[in-house]
Amino acid sequence: MTPPTTLVAPVRSGAEAEDVSRAQRGDLRAFERLYRAHVARVGGLVRRMMGMEHSLDVTQDIFVRVWQKIGTFRGESAFGTWLHRVAVNVILQKRASLRTERERFLSDEIALETAPARGRTDARDFDVERAIARLPQGARTVFILHDVEGFTHEEIGVFLGVTAGTSKAQLHRARMILRDHLTR
Amino acid sequence: MTDRWTDRLSDYLDDALSTSDRRELESHIRDCGDCAAALEDLRAIVASARALAARDVERGMETDLWPEIEARLRDIPVRAVPEPVREPWPVHRLSFSMAQLAAACVAVLLLSATAVWFAHDWGRRETLARSAAGGGLITAVPATSAPAEAAQNEIASLKRVLDERRDRLDPSTLRAIEESLAAVEAAVEQARLALEADPDDPYLVAHLEEMASRQLTLLRRAVDLAGGAE
Ligand SMILES: [Zn+2]
């Protein structure tokens, strides 16, 4: 498959690497630049994973956590990639504290079954964001992490404490539910 | 209808099938309209998912969280204590050939437009509706107008050219182009269906026109990449 939208990362890596190393030495202005460069994508990730309700709080928490951990970033991956991993972990912890993640991953119900059916000509039927928001949580999580964020099934398995096979099955399930919803 | 191949379609899209399974599935798809249709839909869904992250960047963050974050950070010292870090992403995700990059740019450009359709917000819809209604730019359903017919002809001929020159393109470039085309064609088709039911909606009229023009742009660029129109 072709790579996801991470293709912007290498282009800005020069100035960004400088900001990372400044931030690692405690430079708040440099960290602010990193925040501004990444907040839109992180905010989108949080919103999709958690819904609007907690999205601003959790986005804040993520950048606080990144600041706390930035000393451990060793440049083995793009900074944005590392940051998104931290973000996913913060999100999952937050969600776990709201509800046991694993329980929900394994036993979620198909939200669409109970959602009102719409005619195929309703323009909103094509709204992928809305359709994603209505996915069962397990399928939604895997879909966002794999298809939007570009993580592998192995990585997702580690995040969620499930096998790569389970992640694959959830991904296909998510795509088929979306298809059903978007083309009905 | 589903059959034993339906649940393999995602693996196929993600390039996770063995060579023999892939060949078998490809030959199955030639005879099975249901699987072929499902594959096209899944392709469009994957493509629009990818475009979402690019759209986040375009839209930016509405609320500036920095002041509050900064206030919290002032009380937290940075600790450079090494902690175990998980393995980074595979390097191949970040390295591209020029052709791949070109195709990816075309794809992102077009797909973010497609995502406007899939994920447009209603504020934008109203804005477009107002501008279309007020500006009087759009007076007919494009599919039935003469310029639209010319565009349809050009689309058909570009498709023929592209088909003849498939072999000149790097397979991953070709795949990126095909994915983008599938996504934009799906968007055109969906816009057409929506418009059939609601022919007076100026947003839908404008949107269909926009999607058709994106389709044309994508095809022209794809033909360019494959060696120009000659
Ligand atoms: Zn079939």
- The answer, for A171 touching chain B at a CB cutoff of 8 Å, is yes
Name the pLDDT band for A146 (thresholds 50, 70, 90).
Answer: very high
Name, in order, each residue with C-beta under 8 angstroms of B104's C-beta and a sequence gap of 6 or more: A2, A3, A7, B96, B176
Pick the CATH number of A106-184 from 3.40.640.10, 3.40.980.10, 3.40.47.10, 1.10.10.10: 1.10.10.10
DSSP character for B137?
-
Specify the range with the lowest mean pLDDT, choosing from A37-46, A58-67, B118-127. Answer: B118-127
Region B128-150: mean pLDDT is 47
Q: Rounded to the nearest whole angstrom, what is the distance from the C-alpha of residue A78 to the centroid of ligand 1?
A: 40
Name the pLDDT band for B2 (thresholds 50, 70, 90).
Answer: confident
- The answer, for B148 touching chain A at a CB cutoff of 8 Å, is no
- Domain locations in chain A? 12-104, 106-184
DSSP character for B89?
P
Q: Rounded to the nearest whole angstrom, what is the distance from the C-alpha of residue B29 to the centroid of ligand 1?
A: 6
User: Of A40, A78, A123, which has the smallest distance from its Cβ to B94's Cβ?
Assistant: A78
Region A7-31: mean pLDDT is 81
- The answer, for A159 touching chain B at a CB cutoff of 8 Å, is no
At B109, list the tokens: 């450009």
Name, in order, each residue with C-beta under 8 angstroms of B56's C-beta and a sequence gap of 6 or more: A40, A41, A43, A44
Contact A1 B14 (CB under 8 A): yes
Which chain A residues have a beta carbon less than 8 Å from that of B92? 3
Which chain B residues have a beta carbon less than 8 Å from that of A9? 94
State the number of CA atoms in the 13 A half-sphere of B12 facing the CB: 22
- The answer, for A90 touching chain B at a CB cutoff of 8 Å, is no
In CATH, A12-104 is 1.10.1740.10: yes
For residue B87, is it within any domain? no
**Domains of chain B: total:** 2
At B115, list the tokens: 């995502």
User: Of A5, A68, A128, which has the smallest distance from its Cβ to B79's Cβ?
Assistant: A68
Q: Is residue A1 classed exposed, middle or buried when 0-12, 13-18 and 19+ CB atoms within 10 A define those classes?
A: middle
By C-alpha distance, the chain A residue nearest B38 is A179
- The amino acid present at A139, given as its one-letter code, is A
| Res B147: pLDDT | 66
- The answer, for B100 touching chain A at a CB cutoff of 8 Å, is yes
Q: How far is B188 from chain A (nearest CA, A)?
A: 12
Rg of chain A taking only CA atoms, in angstroms? 18
Cα three-residue angle A19-B52-A174, rounded to 5 degrees: 125
| Res B166: pLDDT | 82
Q: Rounded to the nearest whole angstrom, what is the distance from the C-alpha of residue B20 to the centroid of ligand 1?
A: 17
For residue B189, is it within any domain? yes
The answer to whether residue A18 scores a pLDDT higher than 50 is yes
Please indicate, yes or no, whether residues B146 and B208 belong to a single structural domain of this protein. yes
Region B47-53: mean pLDDT is 91
Higher pLDDT, B21 or B174: B21
Cα three-residue angle A44-A132-B34, rounded to 5 degrees: 140
Q: How far is A114 from chain B (nearest CA, A)?
A: 22
The answer to whether residue A123 scores a pLDDT higher than 80 is no
Distance in angstroms (rounded) separating the CA atoms of residues A83 and A70: 9
Region B54-74: mean pLDDT is 92
Please indicate, yes or no, whether residues B20 and B107 belong to a single structural domain of this protein. no
Region A139-154: mean pLDDT is 97
Please indicate, yes or no, whether residues B144 and B210 belong to a single structural domain of this protein. yes
Which chain B residues have a beta carbon less than 8 Å from that of A176? 38, 42
Distance in angstroms (rounded) separating the CA atoms of residues A69 and A136: 32
Name the pLDDT band for B151 (thresholds 50, 70, 90).
Answer: confident
Please indicate, yes or no, whether residues B126 and B215 belong to a single structural domain of this protein. yes
A31, A65 Cβ separation under 8 angstroms: no
The answer to whether residue B70 scores a pLDDT higher than 70 is yes
For residue B29, is it within any domain? yes
For residue B66, is it within any domain? no
A117, A92 Cβ separation under 8 angstroms: no
What whole-number percentage of chain B has pLDDT above 90? 26
Please indicate, yes or no, whether residues B115 and B31 belong to a single structural domain of this protein. no
Please indicate, yes or no, whether residues B106 and B202 belong to a single structural domain of this protein. yes
The answer to whether residue B189 scores a pLDDT higher than 80 is no
Distance in angstroms (rounded) separating the CA atoms of residues A111 and A140: 11
Write the Ramachandran bin of B228: left for phi over 0, alpha for psi from -120 to 50, otherwise beta: left
Distance in angstroms (rounded) separating the CA atoms of residues B117 and B45: 12
- The answer, for B106 touching chain A at a CB cutoff of 8 Å, is no
Higher pLDDT, B5 or B222: B5
What sign does the dihedral B65-B66-B68-B73 (CA atoms) show? positive
Helix (H, G, I), strand (E, B) or coil at A109: coil
Name the pLDDT band for B32 (thresholds 50, 70, 90).
Answer: very high
| Res B67: pLDDT | 96
Distance between first and last Cα of chain B: 44
Contact B96 A3 (CB under 8 A): yes
Q: How far is A64 from chain B (nearest CA, A)?
A: 7
Q: Rounded to the nearest whole angstrom, what is the distance from the C-alpha of residue A119 to the centroid of ligand 1?
A: 26
What are phi and psi for residue B113, nearest 5 degrees?
-70, -40
For residue B84, is it within any domain? no
| Res B105: pLDDT | 45
Tell me, yes or no, if the two domains A12-104 and A106-184 fold the same way: no
Q: Provide ipTM, 2 decimals.
A: 0.79
> What pLDDT, in 10s, does the model give residues A95-104?
888 875 445 5
- The answer, for B99 touching chain A at a CB cutoff of 8 Å, is no
- The answer, for A147 touching chain B at a CB cutoff of 8 Å, is yes
Please indicate, yes or no, whether residues B48 and B104 belong to a single structural domain of this protein. no
Which chain B residues have a beta carbon less than 8 Å from that of A155? 86, 89
Contact A182 B49 (CB under 8 A): no
| Res A17: pLDDT | 93
- The answer, for B98 touching chain A at a CB cutoff of 8 Å, is no
- For residue B38, give its domain range: 6-59
